[in-house]
């Protein structure tokens, strides 16, 4: 029990070779390229969903920020597909690894911040001080805002990792509790099973929501700095 609680989160190996890259590349097979005006059903559904999300995500940006739409949509599709594929039994979720999420969060956040500093230096520096602070509080507040700025990528990465990992762990634990309770008391097992069903629905929602939140926050950082 102690060892196999975290084994779903270890690097997937096949014949002692890590195949993480192959598993990360698997969701690309599920998104075929549209090459006609009217495509098959799978592509049509994906196109409709992509259009819906991109409109929702990018309509608050000015044209300069909208050049990032491709980046945001690919990010969103990647996180959604990897999270949803991780809901299948025995599968490996790359987004549950902190290293991967840091690799996604830090460059994107740094990109928005550097862009803001290069193009609108005064305004970016001005963001560090909220409006209407008393004069004697200014130094401390600037430091606090700088710290909160630098914590943004860390928070992005850890939020995604913790949500996905915690969800998977909870599912695993409650599932094994249900199995163990079946022999002891059927009624409690049924209650635990209901909890499990509800949790599974929640996990599917979390998978989608986390992707959305990640992308939304990066777009928010972009908006501040465009």
Partner 1 sequence: MASIVCVFLHSFSVPLKDKKLLEVKLGELPSWILMRDFTPKGIAGAFQRGYYRYYNKYINVKKGSIAGLSMVLAAYMLFNYCRSYKELKHERLRKYH
b (16+ CB within 10 A) / e for 146-181? eeebeebbeebbebbbebbbebbeebeebbeebeeb
CB nearer to partner 1: give 39 or 54. 39
Say whether 13 sits in a helix, a strand or coil.
strand
Nearer to partner 1, 41 or 122 (CB): 41
Measured distance CA(28)–CA(208) in Å, rounded: 17
Cα separation, 71 vs 77, in Å, equals 10
C-alpha 146, offset from chain centre? 24
Q: Which is nearer to partner 1, 120 or 168 (CB)?
A: 168
Nearer to partner 1, 88 or 184 (CB): 88
Distance, in Å, from the CA atom of 132 to the CA atom of 218, rounded to the nearest integer, reads 26
Nearest-approach distance from CB 41 to partner 1, in angstroms: 5
Distance of closest approach, residue 96 Cβ to partner 1, in angstroms: 14
Which is nearer to partner 1, 129 or 173 (by Cβ)?
Answer: 173
| Burial grade of 90 (CB within 10 A; 0-12, 13-18, 19 or more) | exposed
**Least CB distance from residue 156 to partner 1, whole Å?**
28
Smallest distance, partner 1 to C-beta of residue 91, A: 5
Q: How far is the CB of 137 from partner 1 (least distance, A)?
A: 54
The nearest distance, CB 173 to partner 1, in angstroms, is 14
DSSP 8-state symbol, 11 = P
Cβ 12 to partner 1 shortest distance, Å: 6
Q: Which residues form the interface with partner 1 (CB under 8 A)?
A: 4, 7-8, 12-14, 19, 26, 29-30, 32, 40-42, 85, 88-92
Taking the least distance from each CB to partner 1, the nearer of 165 and 226 is: 165
Rounded to the nearest 10 degrees, the angle between the axes of helix 186-225 and helix 41-58 is: 60
Q: Are 56 and 73 in contact (CB under 8 A)?
A: no
Report the chain's C-alpha Rg in angstroms: 22
Query: Measured from the CB atom, is 19 or 162 closer to partner 1?
Result: 19
């Amino acid at each position: 029990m102690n060892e196999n609680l975290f084994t779903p989160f270890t690097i997937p190996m096949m014949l002692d070779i890590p195949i993480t890259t192959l598993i990360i590349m698997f969701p690309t097979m599920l998104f075929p390229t549209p090459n006609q005006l009217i495509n098959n059903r799978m592509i049509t559904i994906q196109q409709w969903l992509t259009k819906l999300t991109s409109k929702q995500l990018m309509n608050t940006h000015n044209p300069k920020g909208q050049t990032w739409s491709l980046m945001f949509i690919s990010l969103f599709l990647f996180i959604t597909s990897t999270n949803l594929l991780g809901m299948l039994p025995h599968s490996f979720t790359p987004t549950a690894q902190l290293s991967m999420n840091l690799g996604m969060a830090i460059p994107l956040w740094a990109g928005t911040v550097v862009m803001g500093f290069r193009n609108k230096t005064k305004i970016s520096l001005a963001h560090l001080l909220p409006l209407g602070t008393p004069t004697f509080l200014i130094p401390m507040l600037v430091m606090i805002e700088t710290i909160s700025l630098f914590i943004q990528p860390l928070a992005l990465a850890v939020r995604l990792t913790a949500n996905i990992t915690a969800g998977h762990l909870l599912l695993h634990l409650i599932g094994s509790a249900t199995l163990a309770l079946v022999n002891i008391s059927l009624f409690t097992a049924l209650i635990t099973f209901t909890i499990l069903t509800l949790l599974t629905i929640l996990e599917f929602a979390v998978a989608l929501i986390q992707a959305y939140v990640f992308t939304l926050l990066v777009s928010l950082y972009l908006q501040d700095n465009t």
